[in-house]
Structure 1
């Protein structure tokens, strides 16, 4: 089983400059490979393998114009070319859209590190060829400090998978996969059903309820700050709007606009981190109860977003992220993760007698059964039905 770790880096100014340069080299190599594939296709040629494109790049490195590529790790360009070829192949096999050229403005800076060359300690990570010098005092430049101590496993027996250095607009991160053994508990409790919604993010069949974090004063205050900054930034854009000779409008960015953009990015990132942290807290809490299985609904989120009145509230809840975290954390601990059928009537079914209602409006927060007369919270009722979903599958 491969477990992925994401840890923030704390590079100094010189190291940060070098990291941006490495990301630029990866972007250039990706665009070079994509251009080669397109040119080859126009001339009627077949798909070029990444090995053929790398041979062309090796010849370019020998020229004076592209000699600067030798200052960077060969593995950066090698993996970027491979990524471009995979993206190009996926398009012709119908899996993705046609790959676009990467731009400095719209592309997230990132690059690859070789698994054999990267070294991790308790506090630092060593990257390949950040400095061309082989002197011991200069080699310290290759070691970048980690923000979290002892987070990533290290040692001779540890095997790393696909290490990447990524910039998210504020900070640099190291994402790295580690091969680990699957954990199994000695004793599991009974299974649980988890119903996700807007009023409460998660209602569990064992009685646990996790409220909507967006109703908290802390989050509401942050959302108000973001709205105000967006309005302020919009006014600044309008003040600096310039009309070109062709009649089109463009925005000239001043220092004040750049400061506002950075401040807005920090607020948005803070809100996102609060949401992500809360989701991690819920999923980890549920996994620690050691259930035999976890059942969740396979929600049609894209269809739910068409509801104009509730689209924002649904989007804020990040149901897909909740399901993703639940799935991989269950896999880590040897817990069976089950997705109930999309058309399974978990909310309309009575958890006591099994009667199914024909209609159940969203405003009805209490489930009242017409057959047995039970009155129960609709979300809690749905979670119990999801827990019993395994039995209904076994009967059919």
Structure 2
């Protein structure tokens, strides 16, 4: 199984400048492909393959205007072109939304490094056009590296690389575990185990409060330094924006860590299968009252992490049908309640069962195959 390894890089100032150049070149190449594809589509042309675009860029680099592209590795632009074309292919297959242009301010700075040219020695890694960069921990040597990516998370640079690993076979129990996800609690399992909503904790609320204050502060400073239609970015604005970026990073890390802990706890029970509900996240996000809470819960991220961990342990991962009424069926007698409001947190049945709504749903999910 190929497992990702993420290691922090410790570049010197000169190396960091080169990392920024490579990330900027990758972003430019991605946007260049998108503009070429859109222009070609308007003229009635067919989809341009990444091979043709690569050749066109090679010719373009030889001109004086685009000579700066040589400052970054050739593999950076090649992979950025391939990524943009793959994004369009996914869009045509209706697997993803239409690819959008990457903004210099909002997009995550990242680029590809050729896996063959990636060299590793004691606490150091060789990155193309950057040189030997120190790492915070040692990366395994004499193994095949898959899809190495260098990215910036708002504070530090990281190297993410896939490494093939042999996973020993686990002895599983005969338990079928149902997992119901939601907003009140992140997840409720059919065995009674539940995981809280991390966004309701004091730590997250305080961080969000600080974030709101800083955002208001930077907004006021922009208005104070406005010159006509132009906003002037002063040194104080840059300082506040850096603090805002670090706060966003901290909140993301808190949520990701909580999801990792929850999914690891689920698979460590070693059930023979895990059943979750299929959620229409895009449809749920249209609800203006719940959209923020749904986005903060990162339900899709929870599903992805749980899925790969189940694969790692050899656990069968099942997604129940979208229309399976897990919340409306009584887990005791099997009777279905036609009308059940979202505000009804306790499920009450005519058979005398009185149970938490989410726990009832998770029990029904654990019996999904039998029910269908």
Q: Which residue of 2 aligns with 1:375?
A: 354
Per the normalisation by structure 2, the TM-score is 0.88
Residues 328 and 337, structure 2, Cα contact 8 Å, conserved in 1: yes
Residues 183 and 334, structure 1, Cα contact 8 Å, conserved in 2: no
Task: Kindly name which structure, 1 or 2, has the bigger radius of gyration based on alpha carbons.
Answer: 1
CA distance in 2, matches of 1:217, 1:323: 25
Pairwise CA distance, 1:379 = 1.5
Q: Which residue of 2 aligns with 1:133?
A: none
Q: Which residue of 1 aligns with 2:8?
A: 8
CA distance in 2, matches of 1:388, 1:39: 52
Going from structure 1 to structure 2, the CA distance change for 1:101 and 1:277 (only over 3 Å counts) comes to closer
Of residues 331, 340, 347, the one that matches 1:351 is 331
Of residues 158, 165, 172, the one that matches 1:173 is 158
CA distance in 1, matches of 2:328, 2:69: 63
Residues 108 and 166, structure 1, Cα contact 8 Å, conserved in 2: yes
CA distance in 1, matches of 2:51, 2:289: 52
Residues 172 and 271, structure 2, Cα contact 8 Å, conserved in 1: no
Query: How many residues end up aligned between the 2 structures?
Result: 372
Pairwise CA distance, 1:300 = 2.2
Going from structure 1 to structure 2, the CA distance change for 1:388 and 1:261 (only over 3 Å counts) comes to same
Q: Which residue of 2 aligns with 1:202?
A: 187
* 1:155 has 2:144 as partner: no
Q: Which residue of 1 aligns with 2:365?
A: 386
Q: Which residue of 1 aligns with 2:129?
A: 129
Of residues 233, 237, 243, the one that matches 1:263 is 243
Residues 189 and 289, structure 1, Cα contact 8 Å, conserved in 2: no
C-alpha distance after superposition, 1:91-121 (max 9, x if no partner) = 6777666655555344432221111110234
Going from structure 1 to structure 2, the CA distance change for 1:269 and 1:336 (only over 3 Å counts) comes to same
CA distance in 2, matches of 1:213, 1:88: 35
Pairwise CA distance, 1:270 = 0.7
Q: Which residue of 1 aligns with 2:260?
A: 280
CA distance in 2, matches of 1:75, 1:119: 15
C-alpha distance after superposition, 1:259-311 (max 9, x if no partner) = 11111111121111101100100001111111100011112223333434333
Going from structure 1 to structure 2, the CA distance change for 1:55 and 1:322 (only over 3 Å counts) comes to closer
Between stretches 100-109 and 261-270, larger displacement belongs to 100-109
What secondary structure, in the 3-state scheme, does the structure 1 residue paired with 2:148 have? strand
Of residues 127, 130, 133, the one that matches 1:144 is 133
Pairwise CA distance, 1:30 = 3.9
CA distance in 1, matches of 2:59, 2:286: 53
Residues 188 and 290, structure 1, Cα contact 8 Å, conserved in 2: yes
Pairwise CA distance, 1:155 = 3.0
CA distance in 2, matches of 1:23, 1:54: 18
Pairwise CA distance, 1:160 = 1.6
- 5+ long unaligned stretches in structure 2: none
* 1:333 has 2:318 as partner: no
Between stretches 37-46 and 7-16, larger displacement belongs to 37-46
Residues 182 and 334, structure 1, Cα contact 8 Å, conserved in 2: no
Of residues 366, 375, 391, the one that matches 2:346 is 366
Question: 1:198-347 residue pairs with structure 2 within 5 A?
Answer: 198-243=183-228, 249-347=229-327
Pairwise CA distance, 1:57 = 4.3
What secondary structure, in the 3-state scheme, does the structure 1 residue paired with 2:342 have? coil
Q: Which residue of 1 aligns with 2:77?
A: 77
What secondary structure, in the 3-state scheme, does the structure 1 residue paired with 2:323 have? coil
Going from structure 1 to structure 2, the CA distance change for 1:356 and 1:178 (only over 3 Å counts) comes to same
CA distance in 2, matches of 1:21, 1:350: 59
Residues 183 and 332, structure 1, Cα contact 8 Å, conserved in 2: no
Residues 194 and 294, structure 1, Cα contact 8 Å, conserved in 2: yes
What secondary structure, in the 3-state scheme, does the structure 2 residue paired with 1:273 have? helix
CA distance in 2, matches of 1:290, 1:311: 33
